[in-house]
Structure 1
Amino acid sequence: MPDTATSEMTASETGKAADAKPLADQQFTTRHAVTIGTERIEYTANVGRIVLHDDEEHSTPKVAIFYTAYVRDDVPSKRDRPLVFLWNGGPGSSTIWLHMYSYGPRRVVFDGDPLFDTSRWELRENEHSLLDVADLVFVDAPSTGFSRVAPGEDPAQFHGAEADAAVIGDFVTEFVAREKRGDSPIVLFGESYGTIRAPLVADYLQQVPGLFVDGVILLSSLMDVAGTTFGVGVNYGAVGQLPSYAATALYHGVISGDLPTVIAEAEDFALNDYSVALLKGSRLTGAERERIARRLSELTGISAEFILRSNLRVNLWRYVKELLRDRHRTVGRLDTRWTGIDSDTAGETFEDDASYSAPTDPATRALNQYLRADLGWEADRPLLYRHIRPREQWKHRESEQMGIWTPQLEVATVLRAAMNRSPHLKVLLLSGYYDLGTPYFPAELTFDHLHLEPERARNVTKTRYESGHMIYLHEPSLAQTRADLVGFLSSLRGVDAA
């Protein structure tokens, strides 16, 4: 069924009519092949929805979760073959980015460098896919993508950190049961807010159905929102952003040096002189303030005068506008290698994040066409790649540490608890140097402050790439992440994943 408007009914009316229909399980199956390396791999693609019900005796449908699953055909036993569930974040984003740009059997490939032109692209076989070593399930959260809430149900019941984790956990449980994959290594792969979802889902699965996952992959992670927070008495954001500011200034030629040296100097300054100076606040002497501002200027490319006027804290919104102001350009938030143009150069922040806008159109066009033409999906309404307005609707969770409740959204301690319950659970952290949305340094510092015992700490692997938030948009980084992911997946349960 086409999802475009007709002469009798508008697209909005079509969507409302579709939402009024009772939910039903759906699955469309097609068979394909992809070449990865020198190997031609045949696989089955299943695209559809699984309806989840409430727990009452007379069970009623609550929500239908949309998924696209890719399963390699020539594997005699699934016992040692990882089953990876992938999702993007938002909250409120469908899994369009991971699906169309990263590790599935097809991906959008640009004719040139996407930093400069995303208008020319093609959907091609993906030589960087993980399908040779793992089966993949791309999942859309409720109210995103083609997932649908049952008629009469309030979508807001799923719009919160813990409720979201529960419904995704229920989907994982149901999918594993239906596909008879209970003996396979189970891996949760989240990007951005999806890295908040993944620990919560791992915890939920352990405590509700008793399913202990084998791996958690965190791409562009923010398990503690303090890592990007600026404000009175809040130092974590300023300290955590500094190395990414330095990498950005170096990339755009505002400062000089080589990346490893600049990064090392920025991290050292952030952890020592800068963090102490921020803690002192107004107790700093004038000479100390001048010294700190000069060094920050050398590392970030922002003038010492501007830094002093900002009380030594240049938040990311000012940074993306200020760094290239004299060139009449802004830099991206999700990927600072991208540049944008505003209507004027006098503002406090950019008018648009080019690193978010530029990849959106190709992914949306490609996914809509691909699901229908190649995978046989019969959509009942248009794709909602980003639907929930998180600030207005999303219910965050309070965190508890050592019996003390705080309003700060933080799930790292949830992951620590899951790791302590499950000695075989392994974690892989993938971060980009040019990401200001979920910067690499606070993501790593979060693990440093979990105080894991040595035998648990050995289960955590941290990696960095010369890319931004969507690490896979940088071709060399996509190739390197694939290699690192293959190694990680192959290490689960100490067996070869292929």
Structure 2
Amino acid sequence: MLRHLLVTLALAASLASAAQAQAPAAPPAAAITTHSGLFNGQPVTYRAAVEAWRVSPGEGAASGQIITTSYVRTDPPAGPRPVIFLFNGGPGASTTPLHFGAFGPKRRLGEGAAQQMVDNPDSPLDAADLVFIDPVGTGYSRPLNPDDGQAFWTPNGDALSVKAVIADWLAAHGREASPRYVLGQSYGTTRAALIAHHGADLNLDGVLLFALVARPPGFEMPYVTSLPSFAASAWSHGRIPREGRSAQDVYDQAVQFARTDYVSALIAGASLPPAEMAAVAQAMSALIGLPTDLILEKNLRLSRADFYLNLLKDQGLRTGQLDTRATRPLDAPAQRPPYDDPGLSYTPPRPPGEVTGALPVSAAGLSAVESYFKEHLGFATAETYESLNLEVNAAWTWGQGEDEANQRLAEAMAANPRLRVFWAAGLFDLSTPAYAGRYMLDQAGVPAERLTAALFASGHSVFVDPEGLTRLSAAVRSFVAP
């Protein structure tokens, strides 16, 4: 897997330096508007605020500006009101998928110029206030000067700047006593773990991890932890007999096999007798739908590329990585990563149903996202919204603690007995396989009694299926309930 192909972009070394990014001339004025909606069947009035915060990547004067979009219920029921701080991954990805695909009060439907913003009845705004954070280089957030960006584009510089925004938002809005949670998707799970590590002063109540970044080490575990996702994906394409089994059933059977016969065979290595190797290969073939000969050719060690390039090879197709339900021809014209992955923009068919609250098409020709901020929320800025900034990804400095992030999260939990973790994963995600996430949480020492796990028959973004979004939103409501 390309290092951090995560919601979703891949390293693009040929891109120009991100230092060329334009710096904001001055902080835009905060935009505050009032709205109403129906969420989880409840009528809710809320205040939307788009605000600019000056930040540093640690020590020193502020050298960047982060824009947040918050939604605060103005008619909350009595009792503590949780607040969730949300961010996406990349690095270099804005909050767009979480904001307009999952939890914001409006969701984006359609493609290209036909996109529009409509009501999102699955937003958990009835139960918690929401603050969407676009890190420096994404959304409307920028370094103050072109040369200032690099300090933010490291795991710790990034995490410290976002942590500072969380602290500033809580203080500015008088919410220091509120239950508070951070929610990260994909690389955002690394950011969330590092925020928990650096942010003892935040007194977090919980960390929510969607599509956890986890790279099990060793000669065996990278293969062991990918196998269950291979099996679920083979089930989704009908390449193994379903026999009344669900995707979850097949996944669970593959986990059991991976933890027993498969890992034992890999540990044995060259000392494994040929007959036993053949038996394991046949069992793998029955689970994951690849030919026994190919599995033997690979010495039982199948990379993710081995799987997604071969599962449907007889049909001239490959599957996606981010969502294996997506396909494209094997001989399709080459594209620059991450756009070569058919799973990048995969959206399953949406069942017919009523769509309400559609915002008008921009008279100024703005995209749906730009129109939402500038025309619906009244945010006055000359910046262009950066949904996916590959230049930031190319400029990212690795090797500064990201591989130990899950361990740091476990240490934060040991220091704060109140801190809990919610983990969600898709069974059809090869970029951050579900079992790899659970394995690394277990190995890091995250206490099982303080971990809430939710698996979905979906890909990397578990909320792209309508029923998945409804279930996910309900699980999040339950997790943050006072």
For the aligned pair, the TM-score class normalised by the smaller chain equals 0.7 to 0.9
Distance in 2 (alpha carbons) for counterparts of 1:249 and 1:366:
36
Cα offset, 1:391, TM superposition: 6.8
Deviations 1:289-320 (A, max 9, x none): 21111111111111111112222122112211
Check conservation: 1:324, 1:330, Cα contact below 8 A: yes
Check conservation: 1:249, 1:300, Cα contact below 8 A: yes
How much identity, in percent, do the aligned residues show? 31
Cα offset, 1:53, TM superposition: 5.0
Q: Which runs of 5+ in 1 are unaligned?
A: 1-14, 111-116, 400-407
Match of 1:65 in 2: 66
Distance in 2 (alpha carbons) for counterparts of 1:392 and 1:40:
44
Match of 2:160 in 1: 166
Deviations 1:432-491 (A, max 9, x none): 111111111111112222345xxx43221111111111111011111111111111011x
Cα offset, 1:329, TM superposition: 1.8
Distance in 1 (alpha carbons) for counterparts of 2:338 and 2:136:
31
Check conservation: 2:234, 2:289, Cα contact below 8 A: yes
Q: Which residue identity is paired with 1:66?
A: I
Q: Relative CO higher for 1 or 2, CA cutoff 8 Å, sep ≥ 6?
A: 2
Match of 2:470 in 1: 479
Check conservation: 1:91, 1:390, Cα contact below 8 A: yes
Cα offset, 1:90, TM superposition: 0.9
Cα offset, 1:26, TM superposition: 3.1
Match of 1:343 in 2: 331
Is it true that 1:246 corresponds to 2:240 in the alignment? Answer: no
Distance in 2 (alpha carbons) for counterparts of 1:306 and 1:339:
21
Q: Which residue identity is paired with 1:288?
A: E
Cα offset, 1:322, TM superposition: 0.8
Check conservation: 1:426, 1:460, Cα contact below 8 A: yes
Correspondent of 1:225 among 215, 233, 239 = 215
Is it true that 1:378 corresponds to 2:369 in the alignment? Answer: no
Cα offset, 1:74, TM superposition: 1.1
Correspondent of 1:131 among 94, 111, 125 = 125
Distance in 2 (alpha carbons) for counterparts of 1:17 and 1:91:
17
Deviations 1:352-384 (A, max 9, x none): 21121456xxxx943222112211122323222
Check conservation: 1:23, 1:51, Cα contact below 8 A: no
Cα offset, 1:139, TM superposition: 0.5
Is it true that 1:191 corresponds to 2:182 in the alignment? Answer: no
Distance in 1 (alpha carbons) for counterparts of 2:187 and 2:21:
28
Distance in 1 (alpha carbons) for counterparts of 2:342 and 2:400:
33
Q: Which residue identity is paired with 1:237?
A: P
Distance in 1 (alpha carbons) for counterparts of 2:91 and 2:291:
35
Distance in 2 (alpha carbons) for counterparts of 1:373 and 1:28:
11
Distance in 1 (alpha carbons) for counterparts of 2:473 and 2:207:
15
Match of 1:27 in 2: 30
Distance in 2 (alpha carbons) for counterparts of 1:386 and 1:351:
12
Correspondent of 1:44 among 40, 44, 47 = 47
Distance in 2 (alpha carbons) for counterparts of 1:18 and 1:281:
50
Check conservation: 2:92, 2:393, Cα contact below 8 A: no
Distance in 2 (alpha carbons) for counterparts of 1:371 and 1:169:
24
Distance in 1 (alpha carbons) for counterparts of 2:120 and 2:146:
41
Is it true that 1:100 corresponds to 2:88 in the alignment? Answer: no
Match of 1:435 in 2: 429
Correspondent of 2:222 among 237, 249, 255 = 237
Relative to 1, partners in 2 of residues 1:94 and 1:391: Cα closer, same or farther, differing over 3 Å?
closer
Match of 2:358 in 1: none
Distance in 2 (alpha carbons) for counterparts of 1:134 and 1:467:
25
Q: Which residue identity is paired with 2:65?
A: A
Count of aligned residue pairs for this structure pair: 443
Correspondent of 2:315 among 327, 337, 344 = 327
Q: Secondary structure at the match of 2:302?
A: coil
Is it true that 1:215 corresponds to 2:209 in the alignment? Answer: no
Relative to 1, partners in 2 of residues 1:316 and 1:119: Cα closer, same or farther, differing over 3 Å?
farther
Matches within 5 A, 1:78-93: 80-93=80-93
Is it true that 1:368 corresponds to 2:370 in the alignment? Answer: yes
Correspondent of 1:461 among 452, 459, 467 = 452
Moved over 4 A (4+): 15-18, 53-56, 117-121, 388-392
Distance in 2 (alpha carbons) for counterparts of 1:293 and 1:190:
37
Cα offset, 1:389, TM superposition: 4.8
Q: Which runs of 5+ in 2 are unaligned?
A: 1-17, 348-365
Across the aligned residues of Structure 1 and Structure 2, the Cα RMSD in angstroms comes to: 2.8
Q: Secondary structure at the match of 2:403?
A: coil
Check conservation: 2:57, 2:157, Cα contact below 8 A: no
Distance in 2 (alpha carbons) for counterparts of 1:414 and 1:16:
30
Q: Which residue identity is paired with 1:239?
A: V
Distance in 2 (alpha carbons) for counterparts of 1:240 and 1:389:
31
Relative to 1, partners in 2 of residues 1:175 and 1:37: Cα closer, same or farther, differing over 3 Å?
closer
Match of 2:398 in 1: 396
Q: Which residue identity is paired with 2:264?
A: V
Deviations 1:321-371 (A, max 9, x none): 11111112221111111122242699xx99821121456xxxx94322211
